[in-house]
């Protein structure tokens, strides 16, 4: 089942049901152009058999840049590197997609040179929080155009699709949440108003790209972490609306795919999302999926594709090796062990900020 191909709405064929989830790593150049370490990391997982390769989150506009070494897709100067990356991924038989991103309040003036902005203004008592200014209509329309232009650029480079980053508290999530979006105009208010930004981006990207280009979106479903105030039922409705707007796939970011929902502890989120979508819209699921059995259970519940992030770090050939009883490499690993599976010194430095990843 994991090795079965999957044809998306667009006609793009995934060679199997295992995806490399987008991961932050800081491996691009300071100006957002592709870095060799980023190319080598993604190529290694394409060689390892991951059917879908998602790039790290890539900023669509300079004022959305959130961290050092982030990949840019905001201008044509990025095209040569993007083309090189798309060509390498396709050469190994994988489908390459770029994750399109704007940080909103989680961008930083240090990198963009501009004050951060979001759906609304709010304050957090956290280190380095930059209070956002309230988005103007011009900000919103300009950013929708930035997503569309970036998607067009990605298709020109040879990628087969894009994934909009609507999860984890970044700009799209900031508009979706009633906690971070307290607007009273047409971009806020009820769920329909708060979902308008995501829907307009989806429509604009679909309009700007060909029918053979896949467009999907990654969503958080419930309140947790930076995804503040999200309601399960509202998120299911948003997923359904985005499918109506042309989404080829919805990527449910669950953190732990084994957990039931917070709102209804007797119900699992995967069947709920699957039921909210048309049959021809693929459901990708991520969240602590390490073993073959984890993946099979997610698919039995309704997932079409499983996306691996942290498990892909020590397991470059997970898709080729996964079978009943498969024992994947686990974390933490020493720097030498991580280097042996394609982790660059830069990526290693980033991974050190997480517990139980690098064994010193």
Residue 59, token pair as written in the block: 């900023």
From residue 238, alpha-carbon distances to 12, 195, 242, 263 in Å are: 24, 7, 6, 17
What local confidence, expressed as pLDDT, does residue 126 receive?
86
In a domain, 321, yes or no: yes
Give the residue numbers spanning the domain of 102.
Answer: 6-329
Query: Is residue 17 situated within a structural domain?
Result: yes
Which tokens go with 354?
Answer: 């997480």
Report pLDDT digits (tens) over 198-243.
999 999 999 999 999 999 999 999 998 888 899 999 999 999 999 9
CA 358 to chain centre: 23
Terminal Cα distance for the chain, rounded = 38
* Structural domain contains residue 323: yes
Residue 255 has pLDDT above 90, yes or no: no
Write the DSSP string, 140-170.
HHHHHHHHHHHHHHHHHHT-SEEEEEE-TTS
Cα 276-221-313 angle, rounded to 5 deg: 110
Pairwise CA distance, residues 88 & 78, whole Å: 16
Does a structural domain hold residue 302?
yes
Query: How confident is the model over 284-290, as a mean pLDDT?
Result: 98
Q: Report how many domains make up the chain.
A: 1
Position 261 confidence tier, pLDDT thresholds 50, 70, 90: very high
Domain annotation covers residue 357: no
Query: Quick check: is 350 in a domain?
Result: no
Quick check: 292 and 324 in contact, CB under 8 A? Answer: yes
Look at residue 25 and tell me whether its pLDDT is greater than 90: yes
Per-residue pLDDT tens digits for 320-358: 999 999 999 999 999 999 999 999 999 999 999 999 999
| 359 part of a folded domain | no
Task: Give the separation between CA 137 and CA 196, rounded to whole angstroms.
Answer: 13
Average pLDDT, the chain: 97
Q: For the segment 158-174, what is each residue's pLDDT rounded down to a tens digit?
A: 999 999 999 999 999 99
Overall average pLDDT of the 122-134 stretch:
92
Residue 207 lies in a domain: yes
Dump pLDDT digits (tens) for 44-76: 999 999 999 999 999 999 999 999 999 999 999
Alpha helices in 245-291 (DSSP H): 269-276
Domain containing 70 — which CATH number?
Answer: 3.20.20.70
Question: Which H or E element spans position 138?
Answer: helix 137-157
pLDDT bin (cut points 50, 70, 90) of residue 14 is very high
Q: What is the mean pLDDT of residues 298-302?
A: 98
């Amino acid at each position: 089942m994991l090795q079965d191909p999957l044809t998306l709405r667009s006609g793009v064929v995934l060679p199997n049901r295992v995806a490399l989830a987008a991961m932050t790593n800081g491996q691009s150049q300071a100006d957002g152009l592709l870095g060799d370490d980023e190319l080598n990391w993604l190529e290694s997982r394409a060689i390892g058999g991951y059917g879908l390769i998602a790039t790290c989150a890539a900023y669509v506009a300079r004022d959305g840049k959130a961290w050092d070494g982030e990949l840019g897709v905001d201008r044509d100067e990025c095209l040569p590197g993007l083309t090189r990356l798309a060509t390498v991924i396709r050469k190994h038989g994988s489908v390459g997609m770029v994750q399109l991103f704007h940080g909103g309040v989680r961008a930083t003036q240090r990198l963009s040179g501009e004050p951060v902005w979001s759906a609304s203004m709010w304050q957090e008592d956290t280190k380095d929080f930059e209070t956002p200014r309230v988005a103007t209509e011009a900000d919103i329309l300009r950013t929708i155009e930035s997503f569309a232009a970036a998607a067009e650029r990605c298709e020109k480079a040879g990628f087969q699709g894009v994934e909009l980053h609507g999860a984890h508290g970044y700009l799209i999530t900031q508009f979706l949440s009633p906690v971070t979006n307290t607007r009273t105009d047409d971009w806020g208010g009820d769920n329909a108003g708060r979902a308008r930004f995501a829907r307009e981006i989806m429509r604009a990207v679909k309009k700007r790209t060909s029918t053979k280009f896949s467009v999907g979106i990654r969503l958080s479903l419930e309140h947790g972490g930076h995804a503040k105030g999200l309601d399960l039922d509202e998120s299911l409705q948003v997923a359904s609306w985005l499918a109506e707007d042309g989404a080829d796939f919805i990527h449910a970011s669950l953190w732990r795919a084994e957990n039931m929902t917070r709102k209804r502890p007797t119900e699992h989120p995967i069947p709920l999302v699957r039921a909210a979508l048309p049959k021809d819209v693929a459901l990708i699921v991520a969240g602590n999926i390490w073993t073959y059995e984890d993946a099979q259970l997610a698919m039995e519940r309704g997932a079409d594709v499983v996306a691996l992030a942290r498990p892909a770090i020590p397991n470059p050939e997970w898709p080729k090796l996964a079978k009943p009883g498969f024992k994947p490499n686990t974390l933490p690993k020493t720097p030498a062990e991580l280097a042996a599976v394609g982790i660059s010194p830069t990526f290693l430095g980033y991974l050190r900020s997480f517990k139980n990843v690098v064994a010193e």
